[in-house]
Chain A
Amino acid sequence: MDKYECVCGYVYDPAIGDADTGVDAGVDAGTAFADLPEDWVCPLCGASKDNFEKVD
Chain B
Amino acid sequence: MYKPIEIADGIYSVGCRDWDIRDFHGYSTYEGTTYNAFLITGEKNILIDTVKEKFGDELLANISRIIDPKEIDIVISNHTEMDHSGAIPKLMRKIGKDKPIYCSKMGAKNLKLHFNREFNFKVVGTGDELKIGKRTFSFLETRMLHWPDSMFTYLVEDGILFSSDAFGQHYAGDIFFDDEIGEEIIPHARKYYANILLHFSPRVQALLKDVAEMNLTINMICPDHGILWRDNPSRIIEAYDKWSRQEPERKVVVIFDSMWESTTKMARSITSGIESEDVNVRLMNTRKWHRSDIMTEIIDAGAIAVGSPTLNNSVFPVIADVMTYIKGLRPQNKIAAAFGSYGWSGEAVKILNKEFAEMKLDIIDDGVKVQYVPDEKDLDRCFDLGVKIAKALKEKLPKI
Contact = CB atoms under 8 A, between A and B. Distances in A.
A34 to B, nearest CB: 24
A25 to B, nearest CB: 10
Interface string A9-53: 110000000000111000000000000000000001110000000
Contacts, number: 28
Interface stretch (B130-138, B197-205, B271-279): B197-205
A33 to B, nearest CB: 19
Interface in B122-144: 143-144
Contact of B106 (A8, A21, A46): A8
A23 B203 contact: yes
A38 B192 CA distance: 33
Contacts of A9: 105-106, 143, 148
Nearest to B104: A9
Contacts of A8: 106, 143-144, 148
The binding surface of chain B is classed by DSSP as helix
Interface residues of B, number: 11
Chain A interface: which size bin? 10 to 19
B203 A44 contact: yes
A44 B144 contact: yes
B1 interface: no
Contacts of A21: 202-203, 206
Given A8-B106, A9-B105, A9-B106, A45 B205 contact: no
Contacts of A7: 148
A45 B146 CA distance: 9
A55 B199 CA distance: 27
Contact of A46 (B105, B199, B206): B199
A21 B148 CA distance: 14
Nearest to A24: B202
Interface string B238-268: 0000000000000000000000000000000
A23 B202 contact: yes
Interface in B185-212: 199, 202-203, 205-207
Interface of A: 7-10, 21-23, 44-46
10 contacts: A7-B148, A9-B105, A9-B106, A9-B143, A9-B148, A10-B144, A21-B202, A21-B203, A22-B206, A22-B207
